[in-house]
Structure 1
Amino acid sequence: MHLTRSFRLLPALTVGLLLAGCYSRSDMKGEKATAPAASTETAAPDENATTPAPTADATNNSAPATAAAGPLAQVNVFLEVSGSMEGFMPKTGADAANTRFQQHVAQFLSEVNRSSAARKTYFRIKEKPYRDSYQQLSQTVRSGIQQPASSTDIPTVLDTLVSGYYATNTVSVLISDFIYSPKNAGAIPYISTDITDALNRTQRPDLAISVYGYTSDFRGAYYPALNTGVRKISACCDTPIPYYFWVIGPADAVRRFDAALLERQPGQQAHFGVKYPTPASSLLSRFQNVGAWYYGEKDASKRAAGASYHTVAVSSISAKEPVEFVVGMDLKTLPALYRDLNYLKTSLNIQAQDTDAKIVSVFAANEQTKNSSGEESKYTHFVKVHVTKLGKAARPLQLVLRNQRPAWVAQWTTKNDSNINQTGTKTFALSSLMDGVQAVTATEQTPTPVFIIPLTLQPAD
């Protein structure tokens, strides 16, 4: 939607894509949002303000934020309050009923407020960010949007968060339905480009974004993204409507915030540019092993307590006498997406030379492994590898978890939301938004793997 000239948030972005629910659309021009009085609403500092927006890296856009131990220095929470969000936050009626969105977001705000982060700041996103207290923003969520925004432009908002609120040991969380409203169908192919340009303008080298998707009942008017179909669906909706948390900041800060506050909340996930430590792992010679092999490390015979092993020494092998070994992995520090068995089964690959090694199964810990006295009790997931031939010398073998786009993104994407009750739980052009994020957070066309576990496969001495 269009920003009014008196509220210049950022240098102009050439974008023709707008959030649904904006009052500048043709079907909503007759509706007028009353601007709040200046004495009751404080805008976050913009580029013309005497006090700059909080950012530790504003003078050095090219310097990556460094990892920091302990609590985060700052968490910024931004809640979109345009007309399209009213159905998530309807004004409290006589029945005092609330939506799942209201329950979820109110709980999330409370958890942020109680978190160990040194500083917490809260904003409503209207024509630009407006500073709120925790109590004010929580009350908006609970009681409903009283004065919906006349416009909220997602590329401009993303630009604002990355350029004005990006700092070491800091994250910003944007809560929105992320529904685009192109001026015309010709603008649709440029959605991903506009997202990339907005996020890339300040060229943050360590930028990471985690996207969390949720659904809620929705009570109000739904405004489809495209102007070519139905312009407004009153008394919507019969189907749950998606909304999203985008966590934006330096990679290490995003990873730590996710683990502290979002991993306990069921929802869909996608992570871009976030880096994770290599999980603890080991070969397990006494757990479902097949054939003649043993640990190839020179001190393995001592079996030191807590030791891990990554070299398979094969005494004999053939098609009739294969070797099978199991690698235990402790994935409990990774996001739920990367612990999901379906994701692991489709995304975990083996890379090797001079061998036909292949993964034959991936499975999770169960009560038997957890209560075992063996080394398998230390691990949350297991990979079984089958081998029938190997080279004449030691060769590296790697277990690689690819960082693939999770299936839910495509499942939640629609090209036309003008009949949302029949379309179902979907968001207009969601895949294009994710394309735009991936382009700016991936250093190469193929995203960096989530982790690589190095092994060695060799003939026995």
Structure 2
Amino acid sequence: MLNKKRQFFKKITSAAAMAGVLCLIACSSEKKNESATENNNTEEVTATKAKTKVPAAPAVGQVNVFMEISGSMKGFMPASNGGQITQFQETLDALLATVQQNNQLGKKQFYEVSEKISPAEYSQVSKHLRYGLEATASSSTIPAMLDSIISNYSQPNGVNVFISDFIYAPANGRAVNFVTTDIYQVVAKAQQQGQAVSIFGVTSDFKGTFYPAVKTTRKTIPNCCDSEVPYYLWVMGKPEQVQLFNRQIMAGKFVDEVHIGFEFTTPVYSVLDKYLPVGNWYCNSSDTGCRAITVSDLKTPLEMVVGLNLTSLPASYTNEAYLKKNLKIQAENSDAQITGIYTAAQFRTQKGVAGENTNPLKPYSHFVKVKFSKMAAPEIELQLSLQNQRPAWVQARTTTDDSQINNAGGKTFQLAGMVAGVERAYGATNNSVFTAIIQAKKE
């Protein structure tokens, strides 16, 4: 009997020991599995993070800068000027340094242009710009230089920047009468490649010899000039690349601009019925804001304010003078007219707006007041359009005789003709920058 009890306890002990071993194995395996699961989860999270990349900011792929260094440019970069620098030197030195250092721009390549186009290091261009041109050469004609740049240096992911005084002085003097056609034929190549053109105009003091296109009495004007002399920067490339470059580099630096070959999207806009409303009407709101109104009656003339966000447009389209001249309203069967155009800052000071909640105004940069007292149809369409007109500065800086620069002031021979050549290449005359449509119907 005693032996049986001993055997019984021995079996229990063995079973317990075996259970303990199994438990240890199972627990260990379980922990390993948990650890493996944790590692797998960690790897999955890491892999997910690796796959989820923050999208890079849009960038210009390549920038080619071409600076003319022929004799006509020496007055902008005089080698000896009593220790003084010209406005050209000051402006371009800062601009080209910004191009060189900007991380949002891809590859940068600099060129100097005279009889031919030659690649140059930034340091060499900077040296000539800062310390002047000791020796200069004659140059090719403006059409020939543009043709070479457009034909040989254009790329789909970049821009070409050409800096020149744009004095058109062909070997045969009679050819100056055909500047529009010559520019058209060259720029048409850019248009066919899907490029657009931005032209920036600026003036600078000039210390040296001036080479007029019109050589009526003398071929050169030494010790020039009593007034500032114009020069230009042409930015050429795919429209989206040029717009990126202009926003990153050119914005706010030049007052005079003209942009040809671009298509601009309709800006964000909405009728604002809480600000300065007059008359019996109300908004039919939607997810895009108020772009349709219902008119109860016109016993009192209807007045409303339309907010527009014009921040994506070049500054030349949004200055006060341009908007007042070129922002139009059209509406058949109505006498609609624009009675006021305001910047955001100006609008906030208007009686009836100042002191009110201005949060709804934040999406808009400009405000347009519209008034009408007639609806000769149950429903009308109001079209607010910004006309794409050649800026007034182009004509103001144009001359047909630049040999009188000391008397007539700094102007560029046939500048308007050159711009007309670009416009002809793109068919860019009397078209609209954008059109914002508002529906109005009778109740």
Counterpart-to-counterpart distance in 2, 1:246 and 1:99: 21
1:51-108 residue CA offsets vs partner (Å, 9 max, x unmatched): xxxxxxxxxxxxxxxxx97101101100001100000000045x32110000101111
1:451 counterpart residue number: 434
Q: In the alignment, is residue 406 of structure 1 matched against residue 419 of structure 2? A: no
Q: Could you say if the C-alpha distance between residues 339 and 207 of structure 1 is closer, same or farther in structure 2, counting changes exceeding 3 Å?
A: same
Match of 1:114 among 101, 105, 113: 101
Match of 1:373 among 326, 339, 357: 357
1:51 counterpart residue number: none
CA contact (8 A) 1:255 1:275 kept: no
Counterpart-to-counterpart distance in 2, 1:153 and 1:88: 19
2:382 counterpart residue number: 397
Query: Could you list the runs of 4 or more consecutive aligned residues of structure 1 that deviate by over 4 angstroms after TM superposition?
Result: 182-185
CA contact (8 A) 1:92 1:144 kept: yes
- Quick check: 414-423 or 170-179, which moved more? 414-423
Q: In the alignment, is residue 337 of structure 1 matched against residue 320 of structure 2? A: no
1:263-305 residue CA offsets vs partner (Å, 9 max, x unmatched): 12033111111222322111111112211111124x5xxxx7x
Q: CA deviation at 1:376?
A: 2.6
1:436 counterpart residue number: 421
Match of 1:423 among 404, 408, 420: 408
Q: CA deviation at 1:184?
A: 5.7
Q: CA deviation at 1:165?
A: 1.8
SS at match of 1:309: strand
Q: TM-score, normalised by structure 1?
A: 0.79
2:86 counterpart residue number: 99
Q: TM-score, normalised by structure 2?
A: 0.82
1:62 counterpart residue number: none
Matches within 5 A, 1:4-43: none
Q: CA deviation at 1:178?
A: 0.3
CA contact (8 A) 2:281 2:295 kept: yes
Q: Could you say if the C-alpha distance between residues 163 and 360 of structure 1 is closer, same or farther in structure 2, counting changes exceeding 3 Å?
A: same
Bigger Cα Rg: 2
CA contact (8 A) 1:92 1:98 kept: no
Counterpart-to-counterpart distance in 2, 1:408 and 1:251: 23
- Quick check: 351-360 or 104-113, which moved more? 351-360
Counterpart-to-counterpart distance in 2, 1:291 and 1:167: 55
Root mean square deviation, CA, Å: 2.0
Matches within 5 A, 1:18-417: 70-93=58-81, 95-115=82-102, 116-183=104-171, 186-201=174-189, 204-297=192-285, 308-318=289-299, 321-366=300-345, 369=348, 373-374=357-358, 375-417=360-402
CA contact (8 A) 2:89 2:129 kept: yes
User: Quick one: which amino acid aligns to residue 149 of structure 1?
Assistant: A
CA contact (8 A) 2:205 2:227 kept: yes
User: Quick one: which amino acid aligns to residue 308 of structure 2?
Assistant: M
1:42 counterpart residue number: none
User: Quick one: which amino acid aligns to residue 407 of structure 1?
Assistant: A
1:55 counterpart residue number: none
Q: CA deviation at 1:186?
A: 3.7
- What stretches of structure 1 of length at least 5 have no aligned partner? 1-67
User: Quick one: which amino acid aligns to residue 111 of structure 1?
Assistant: T
Q: Could you say if the C-alpha distance between residues 421 and 328 of structure 1 is closer, same or farther in structure 2, counting changes exceeding 3 Å?
A: same
Counterpart-to-counterpart distance in 1, 2:179 and 2:264: 29
CA contact (8 A) 1:328 1:379 kept: yes
CA contact (8 A) 2:63 2:109 kept: yes
Q: Could you say if the C-alpha distance between residues 451 and 246 of structure 1 is closer, same or farther in structure 2, counting changes exceeding 3 Å?
A: same
Indicate the percent of aligned positions where both proteins have the same amino acid: 38
Where is the helix percentage greater, Structure 1 or Structure 2?
2
Q: Could you say if the C-alpha distance between residues 184 and 131 of structure 1 is closer, same or farther in structure 2, counting changes exceeding 3 Å?
A: closer
SS at match of 1:88: coil
SS at match of 2:431: coil
> How many corresponding residue pairs?
381
Q: CA deviation at 1:182?
A: 4.4
- What stretches of structure 2 of length at least 5 have no aligned partner? 1-55
User: Quick one: which amino acid aligns to residue 435 of structure 1?
Assistant: A
Q: CA deviation at 1:231?
A: 2.0
1:7 counterpart residue number: none
CA contact (8 A) 1:181 1:225 kept: yes
Counterpart-to-counterpart distance in 2, 1:393 and 1:241: 58
User: Quick one: which amino acid aligns to residue 434 of structure 1?
Assistant: V
1:29 counterpart residue number: none
CA contact (8 A) 2:99 2:249 kept: yes
1:25 counterpart residue number: none
CA contact (8 A) 2:113 2:139 kept: no
Q: CA deviation at 1:367?
A: 6.1
User: Quick one: which amino acid aligns to residue 199 of structure 2?
Assistant: V
SS at match of 1:174: strand
Q: Could you say if the C-alpha distance between residues 438 and 368 of structure 1 is closer, same or farther in structure 2, counting changes exceeding 3 Å?
A: closer
SS at match of 2:99: helix
CA contact (8 A) 2:76 2:206 kept: yes
